[in-house]
Amino acid sequence: MKKLKFLLLTILFFGTLSFAQEVEVGPNNFSSTINSNKAVLVKFWAPWCGPCTMLKPEFEKAEQIAGNKVLFATYNIDLRGEPLRAYNVTVIPTMILFVDGKEVARSNSILSAQDIADWVLGYVPQAATVNGFQN
């Protein structure tokens, strides 16, 4: 009963609960991931990259803001692979948004969580609102 009460209070306080979890992709599952039935934002990064470290918490917060409208994925460039060549990823961090398996937008900037969410949701037709507010 205490757990249920805590859950209800949490939902009341935060509005909704999101259990979104970013997906790690690599050369073997990249194609199947970007051909998902929803928009996919892939962040190309490396553990040794300072700007990538700065972007990480914003990327994670943006995932919570966007909810389940967009799949958030990360690709460690140290894995190498065809996606780096195919999408000409020469700078990190790079975020590429895919809709129906096709690149529709890209950014090499360090953006705030809200800016990332607004940018991505602007390309997702069914995402007219975010947290009840007009996007």
The whole-number mean pLDDT for each consecutive block of 10 residues of the chain, a chain of 135 residues, reads: 43 41 88 93 96 95 92 95 93 96 95 96 66 44
Q: Is 49 a catalytic residue?
A: yes
pTM to 2 decimal places: 0.77
What is the per-residue pLDDT for 32?
94
Q: Kindly state the helix (H) or strand (E) to which residue 35 belongs, with its residue range.
A: none
What per-residue confidence (pLDDT) applies to 56? 95
User: Tokens 């140290």 appear where?
Assistant: 78
Catalytic residue among 34, 52, 111, 120: 52
CA dist 111 and 97 (Å) reads: 14
Q: Considering the candidates 49, 62, 84, 117, report the single residue annotated as catalytic.
A: 49
Maximum Cα–Cα distance across the chain: 54
Query: Quick check: is 52 catalytic?
Result: yes
- Euclidean distance between CA atoms 75 and 134, whole angstroms: 31
pLDDT of residue 124: 86
